[in-house]
Structure 1
C-alpha cells in the first residue's frame, strides 16, 4: 500500500479548507455533478473493486462484496440525487399568528465545510461513499482515510477518486496508524468513523481538542430474540447466514441468540442444517470469507479455545471434516457456543467472526434483562408472531435499530437513518433528509415583520410596566415583584 505522508494529509486538508467559503457554497448543479461522478466511479469500476477486496481478504464471496460494498452507494446515491433539489429549499417554520403581520421563520441547511471519513475493513467502499454522498450533496468537501487492512482497495480507491474528482472536492489518503492519528486530530467540520467501540473512544479523544463533531458508527453484541411462538425454520437461516456472511465480520450480524429452553435444540439443529447446505466445504470454497488478517484469526480462535477450556458445549459445523480452523486460509467454521458463562470473552466482547453464542431462557423477561445488562447494541432482531411480545421486546430494550422477523433491514432504508446508541455509536446518516442534514448546519432564520415597531420596548430596562406585565401573563404569572 502506498502511504500518504503526514505532510500530504495536512496539505490536502488545507487545500479543502481554503477552497470552502460560506459566502460561495456549491450550487445545486455543482453538487449534482459531484454526485453523478461518484455514481459513475463505482458503476464503471465495480468489478475491479470486487477483485481488490477478494485479494485483500484472500477469499470473499463476490456476491457478498456486491451486496455490502457496491449496491448501497449506487442505490443510496440515486435516492439522494432524486431528492436534492427539494432538500436544498429553505424549510418554512410556523410563525403562528405573527405570520399575519409579516414575520417569517425558516431553516437554511448550509454546508458545514470539510468532512473527514474513516472507513473499516469489512465494507470499505460503501462505508466511504455512503457518508461521502450525503456530505457532497450537502455542499461539503470530503477526505477519506481508507483502512490499512485493505491495502489494495485503498490504493485503488485513492487512484480512482483522484481521477474523478479535484482534490478540493474529494480526496483519499492511505497509510498506517500514524496517518490515522494525524487524520483524526485535524480540525474537521465533522468526522465520521466506522469501526470498533474501543477505537471509537480514541477517535473522540483526538477530536476533542478541536471540538470536532463526530458521527461514530460502532457495533457491539447484536442480539436475536427468538420468541416462544417463532417459526424456527424461518428464523434459523437468517441467524445462521447472517452470522456467517463475510465470516461474521459485519457490525450488524447476530452476535448471540436468546431462545426459549423448549426450542433450544430445534434452533441449533436448524442452524447447523442451514450452514451445512450453504457451505459443504470451506478451505477451498471461494464462497467462504477469510478472516481479514492473522491477528483477527488468532483472536477469534482464542475465544473458542477459552470456551472449550471452560467446559462449554461447542458445535462446530464442518460437514467435510476438514482441518478447521485453518490458519493458512484464515477460515473458521460456524461455531456455536451454548450458554457460555458471562466471564468468557465470547460473552463479553463483540466477536466479529463466525461464532454464535446461544442462550436459553425460561421467561421472556429473562431475555430482556439479559440484553439490558449489557451495552446497547447497534441492531436488535426479534423473531415471533405475538404482537404483544414483539412490542415488549422493542419497547423494553435500547438499540440503534430493530428489525422484526428478519435481520439488518432497518439499516438499509433511505428514510430512517443508520446509527447506534451509547457504546454502539452516536449520530446517524444514510436516512434521506435526515442523512443530508447530518452534514449541514441547520441555520435558523427569523425575519421580523410589523411587530418590529414594538419589540424594542421589551429590552431591559423597561420604560413602563406594560412589557413586564405582558411577559408574566405569557407564562401565567400574575404577581408583579420588582
Structure 2
C-alpha cells in the first residue's frame, strides 16, 4: 500500500520528536536497531529475491544476493565490531600545549533525522547500507525506495513495520510526487542515489532547508587498458561486469580505452567470454531484464542512432536468438567500436548493455579523452606499469579507482565511497567514514593553566606592547 503525503509527514514528525539532543540513542539502542535490520534481511532472503525478480521481470538471483543483500549484512557486522569505540570522544593531540593541561576532543554526535532515497538497480542495498551507518551514528532514518521497484518497496515497507519501530526506522513508498515531497522535507541529512539530472532536482529541493546532501550519482566510468595488461583477465572482468544486471549499475564500466593495435584481439576475447557466460538470453534467469519500457526504449534509441551513423556494432548473441526481446525487455550486450563523439552512447551515461570501445595511440591521448568528460564515479585501470598507472591516477579525477579489478573499492570498510563533481558529493560506506558522515564531529577544546593568561590575546588591548607581541607571533 502506497504511503500518502500526510502519512509521510506524520512519520517524519514522529522521528523528529523522538530525536532528543539531551538523550541521544545509547550504544545498546543502536545495536538493537541494527540487529532488527539484520534479522529483517536474513529471515526473508527468498521473499526479497522474488520481489526483485518480479519488479525486473527477469533478474539473476545471485546478482540480487551480491548487489542487494550481502552489503548491508557485512556493514552491520563490521559496525557492531567497532561501534563501542567510535562512540567515545576521540582525543586529539595538543602538541606542546598538552604540557600545560590543554586537551582536545572530537565528539561524534547524532545529526537527527536522516532521509535516504534509493534507486531501482540496487534498491535494498542502497537503502539499507547508508541507513545502518546513520543508525550507528545515533540517527532516526526514513527511506524512500524507487517507484520503479514497487513490489520490492512494498515488501521492505511491510517487513520494516514487522521488525522495527517506525520512530527509529521507516520506509515510505509511492510515485514521483512522494519522492519530490520527500526530498523537500527538513532533514538533518539527505542521501540520494541515482542519475545526475535527478540529483540536481533533489539538491534544489533540499536547498531551502539548508539540508546537507550526499549525492551518489553515476557518469561515464572509463576502463583504461594499458598495452602490458593481462588480456585474458582484463577481457573477462570487463565482459562479465558490464553484463551484470544488464549494465544497470552505477559503478559499471561505461566505456573502454584500448591500444589501437589490440582492438581486434580484445573484441574477440570479450565476445568469447560473453558467449560462455550467456549462451542464451531468453528464459535465462541469470540474465537481467531492463527495468521498464522507458529505459528499454532509451537504450534501443541509442543503438538505432549509432547504427544510422555507421557505427560498427557487435551484438554478442551466440545462439542467434530474436533479441532484443521486447516482451521481456531483454537486450544482449552490444559493443560499439569508436562511435562518433557526438552520439548519445559517447556523450551520456549508458546505464544498459552497451559497451563503447575507443582506441588510443598514446597514454596522453587516453587521459585527454577521459578529461573531456565529466568526472566519473569510478575509473578502472588494467596494466602492470606503475609509472603509467600513477600517471593516469594523478592526471585525472574520479570518485575512486580500481587497478586490475572492478568496483571493489566501493565495498571496502576502510575507505569511503562517493563521487566527485557531476558524479556526486559526499562519501559514506567505509565503516567509520560512513559513521562520521552521519555525525556532527563536534570539536571540544579544554584550556589548561594558560587560561588566565590568554585573555589579552583573545581580545587584545590596543597598545604598543600588544601590537609588538601580535606582530612577532605573525612573523611581521
Displacement of 1:460 in angstroms is 3.5
Aligned CA RMSD, in angstroms, stands at 1.0
Partner of 1:445: 444
1:39-94 C-alpha deviation (Å, 9 max, x unpaired): 11111111111110001100001000000001111111111110101111111112
Change over 3 Å in CA distance of 1:386–1:458 after alignment to 2: closer
Matched, 1:214 2:213: yes
Partner of 1:471: 470
Comparing 39-48 with 261-270, which one deviates more in the overlay?
39-48
Ranges in structure 1 where 5+ consecutive residues have no aligned partner: 478-482
1:317-347 C-alpha deviation (Å, 9 max, x unpaired): 1111111111101000010000000110000
Q: Secondary structure at the match of 1:143?
A: strand
Partner of 1:96: 95
Partner of 1:224: 223
Partner of 1:234: 233
C-alpha contact (below 8 Å) 2:115/2:189 kept by paired residues: yes
Change over 3 Å in CA distance of 1:425–1:463 after alignment to 2: closer
Q: Secondary structure at the match of 1:471?
A: helix
TM-score (norm 1): 0.97
> Across the two proteins, how many residue pairs are aligned to each other?
476
TM-score (norm 2): 0.99
Q: Distance in 2 between matches of 1:405 and 1:103?
A: 48
Comparing 324-333 with 37-46, which one deviates more in the overlay?
37-46
Alignment of 1:258-273 (within 5 A): 258-273=257-272
Change over 3 Å in CA distance of 1:323–1:451 after alignment to 2: same
Alignment of 1:30-429 (within 5 A): 30-429=29-428
Q: Secondary structure at the match of 2:301?
A: helix
Partner of 2:435: 436
Displacement of 1:459 in angstroms is 4.3
C-alpha contact (below 8 Å) 1:457/1:463 kept by paired residues: no
Displacement of 1:104 in angstroms is 1.2
Q: Secondary structure at the match of 2:42?
A: helix
Q: Distance in 1 between matches of 2:133 and 2:458?
A: 42
Q: Distance in 2 between matches of 1:433 and 1:174?
A: 30
C-alpha contact (below 8 Å) 2:75/2:129 kept by paired residues: yes
Q: Secondary structure at the match of 1:258?
A: strand
Comparing 204-213 with 42-51, which one deviates more in the overlay?
42-51
Q: Distance in 1 between matches of 2:420 and 2:115?
A: 21
Displacement of 1:232 in angstroms is 1.2
1:163-182 C-alpha deviation (Å, 9 max, x unpaired): 11111100000000110011
